[in-house]
Amino acid sequence: MNANKWPLLLAAALVSAPAMAQQDAGSTPASTPQNASQSTSQNADNNAQDQKLSTSETVTVTAPGETRDVQSVDRTALLQVAPGTSSIAVLGKLPSVEVTTADPYGAYEWALRISVRGFNQNQLGFTLDDVPLGDMSYGNLNGLHISRAIIDEDMGHVTLSQGTGALEVASTSNLGGAVQFFSSDPLDKFHFDARQSFGSFDGIRSFGRLDSGVLPGGGKLYLAGVWQRADKWKSAGQRNQRYEQFNFKYVQPVGGSGTFTAYADISNRQEVDYQDLDKIWVKTLGYNWDNFGNWGQALQAAEAYQSGGTVPYPNPVSKLTSAQDPEDAAYFGASGLRRDRLAYVSYKTTLGSHLFWKTTAYGHGNDGDGLWFTPYLPTYNSNYEAVSPISLRTSEYGIERGGFLTSVSLETGKNTLEGGAWFEKEDFTLARRFYNTSLASPIHSLYDFPTNPFYTQWAYDFPSTLYMLHLQDKYKVTSNVTIEAGFKAEETNQTGNLKAFNTGLDLAPTTVASSYAQGSLESGNPFLPQIGVDWKLNQKSEVFADVAKNTRAFQTGGPGFGTSPWGTSQAGFNALTDNLKPESSWSEEVGYRYTDNRASIQANYFHVNFSNRLLAIQQGAAIAGDASLLSNVGGVTTNGLDGAASVQFGNGWVLYNGLTFSRSTYNDNYTSDGTEIATGGKIVVDAPEFMWKNSLSYGHKGFDAHIGSDYMSKRYYTYTDDSSVDGRFLAEFGTSYHKDEVGIFDQLKLQFNIYNLANAKYYSTIGTNGFIASDPTGVGNNTLQVGAPRAYTGTFSMRF
């Protein structure tokens, strides 16, 4: 079979059937092993609910009885948005959560960002069914993005623990909280579902899922697949975004109280990048400006740069002055390629009337490539002659990791004592390579992994091991007062080994191994405490308070890779190994909850002390030739108030509102290359001080509709607060109608969604290329993405 035709055949097959929402069948938070004994009854109840699915929005704004701030979005709300919308984007409905992206669905990973209470994505923790996902950064060293770990339609629910997070979360990056994703379980009855979507920008998405129902022996499974194509909303040339993914899950009861689960995921993503912008480019070249996508224009731009201006830039880049960075305004193109394989097996059981145990073993493999056609290094032949002014530069990633988690819980009267361990061994590889182009063509596609580089600048191998133990006790002092206290101990050992440098073409004959750092680092803390209290004032009201300390392990990576200690010279690395401390935080909060049959309300005050903030800055001639060196630049203080309320009124109406007032400021100035940078007292980058989210939904007899909006105030993108983007207001609309028991179908459904209802123009993600100290004119700091315009999606679903 022609390999290029299989996605079309898959799509044709999937169109004949639907991806209607399954209610979360037994996917309960895995924080306590006793869920294993409850699995069967929960599945039965939820499967019954699944037959009469309501799509009214469900956002849980508070979790009664918790000693910390816990909020969740359930399967209903996840399936209410346009198919293909990232579950991360749906979390943007919650207070204190900032989510930004450059496309309508939050599917484009380079620009998808989530931050919580001033902490960015790299400082949060993420898991799927307890399996660690790392920090979900774009060039991930120890995990993968949730969009590649599970198909959106197979998600059961998502829980966010803001601020302190949960002790048992398997993460070494959760300074500011944790996001726990839970997959849905297979259904008890046989079903074949499919969902077919069409949308703006030639979008097409086909999803199908087969549920076996309960098999002989009591087990059940599902197989699911998705095939998706959509053009970028701007640009020319190679612009199609491609995505295929498959999921498998099997659940088997064992004995009278045990449950065995196996899960597997295969993902293939090919994303063509949107060009990162600055304000001058948007003003001069237009809101829709993007990469050329035209080889002739890209060649002319590269020749203009390399000639020092004697060759003119192509229109409209020629409108930019030499001080406005015309060489970076557009390239031929760039893309991100990711192939992932993820699997786990888990077992939960009761070991006695009061003792519960669960364990999970997992493995993950990733092949990744970031492609960029760069004008900064021409293509050379074996005679050291430039044959093209452009080369293809890659950042090549590889991850092989595996580990296990195990925990035991003992319930004795007023106490619930729980403890566990997490171990992971991983191998992360990273290389910077260059591939040839010609005057006639780019030779390489943005959709394929290139081969045969003419130059390898450097290549690293980062073997790592990590260990984490946790112990906690939940003690009911009285029927109304509960205290929860515990700690975790974690240790991460990382080594950077230089595998190769200057292989192929010797473009820098003076470069030696000492120009790149090698060596080992250890991070962690043997005692990270957490304590909280929940006091029920009456059946509907309660107050809670908690405090926790967390640390973040060092990030691996080569030169130019963010806050990696290895992104410097050997002399620079040696200078920091003895005194470099990992980032850490103390998070404190106090809150009030109210819940009854019609309302769910929560309000919080939170305070965070963030210490040992790490930043790669110039150190001056004293450190090995003005190398960039990871440095401790002080702390950050955050104070804020947030709250949310979900109220049902009338017949089928639900009103939701979430508000956040927060202020995060740097505590200290820092020095860069002998110059003091005045950051003390400045607002933290990408930390809006005010956010407001709301929605109004209605559901009645198969018909559902909702309208929602999201406001975010001004955000700074320089450390000295001399450059910012204005606040933005986004609105969205969705409606659906489903009919049960129609001929041979269990259910038929039509759904329609509109993103950016008012067609607003705004800056969305900031900091895609990092942040800098100062940029008062908005020139040369191409780290901004503009938001996508109004987009429509229509979906037809069927269930057999």
The string of DSSP codes covering 656-697 is: EEEEEEEEEEE---EEETTEEE--TTPBPTT--SEEEEEEEE
Cα gap 79→54, rounded to integer Å: 10
For the record, the structure tokens of 46 come out as: 């939820």
Q: Bridge-partner residues for 475, per DSSP?
A: 415, 483
How does strand 386-388 pair with strand 379-380?
A: antiparallel
For the record, the structure tokens of 740 come out as: 């049960």
Determine how many CB atoms are found less than 10 A away from the CB of residue 510: 6
Cα gap 105→111, rounded to integer Å: 11
For the record, the structure tokens of 120 come out as: 């960015």
Cα gap 42→25, rounded to integer Å: 7
pLDDT at 235: 79
pLDDT at 46: 40
Cα gap 87→620, rounded to integer Å: 44
For the record, the structure tokens of 85 come out as: 């919308």
**Residue in 173, 68, 64 with CA at minimum distance from that of residue 530:** 68
Is residue 791 a contact partner of residue 192, using CB atoms and an 8 Å limit? no
pLDDT at 533: 97
Cα gap 401→586, rounded to integer Å: 30
For the record, the structure tokens of 322 come out as: 């030499």
Q: Bridge-partner residues for 263, per DSSP?
A: 249, 344
The pTM score is 0.91
pLDDT at 502: 59
Cα gap 421→168, rounded to integer Å: 8
Collapsing DSSP states into helix, strand and coil, what is residue 314? coil
Phi-psi region of 216 (alpha: psi -120 to 50; beta: other; left: phi over 0): beta
Is residue 76 a contact partner of residue 661, using CB atoms and an 8 Å limit? no
Please classify residue 362 by burial: count the beta carbons closer than 10 Å to its beta carbon, then call 0-12 exposed, 13-18 middle and 19+ buried.
buried
pLDDT at 506: 57
How does strand 675-677 pair with strand 670-672?
A: antiparallel
For residue 243, CA distances in Å to 108, 207, 231, 265, 681 come to 11, 12, 12, 13, 44
Cα gap 53→70, rounded to integer Å: 25
Collapsing DSSP states into helix, strand and coil, what is residue 148? helix
For residue 147, CA distances in Å to 144, 425, 595 come to 8, 23, 32
For residue 632, CA distances in Å to 333, 372, 580, 740, 773 come to 36, 31, 7, 60, 15
- Tokens 């002080």 identify what position? 634
Q: Bridge-partner residues for 421, per DSSP?
A: 406, 469
Is residue 364 a contact partner of residue 402, using CB atoms and an 8 Å limit? yes
Handedness of CA 185, 189, 191, 195 (dihedral sign): negative
Handedness of CA 289, 291, 294, 299 (dihedral sign): positive
**Residue in 565, 562, 563 with CA at minimum distance from that of residue 496:** 565
Phi-psi region of 741 (alpha: psi -120 to 50; beta: other; left: phi over 0): left
User: 443-464 burial, b if ≥16 CB within 10 A, otherwise e?
Assistant: ebebeeebeebbbbbbbbbbbb
For the record, the structure tokens of 511 come out as: 């470069």
Q: Across the 800 residues of the chain, what is the mean pLDDT of every consecutive 10-residue run?
A: 34 30 32 34 36 47 86 87 91 94 92 93 95 92 95 95 85 92 97 96 97 97 97 85 97 95 98 96 96 96 93 96 95 97 97 93 97 95 89 96 97 94 97 95 97 90 97 96 97 91 55 74 95 96 96 87 84 84 95 93 96 76 48 94 92 94 96 91 97 95 95 97 97 96 94 97 95 89 95 96
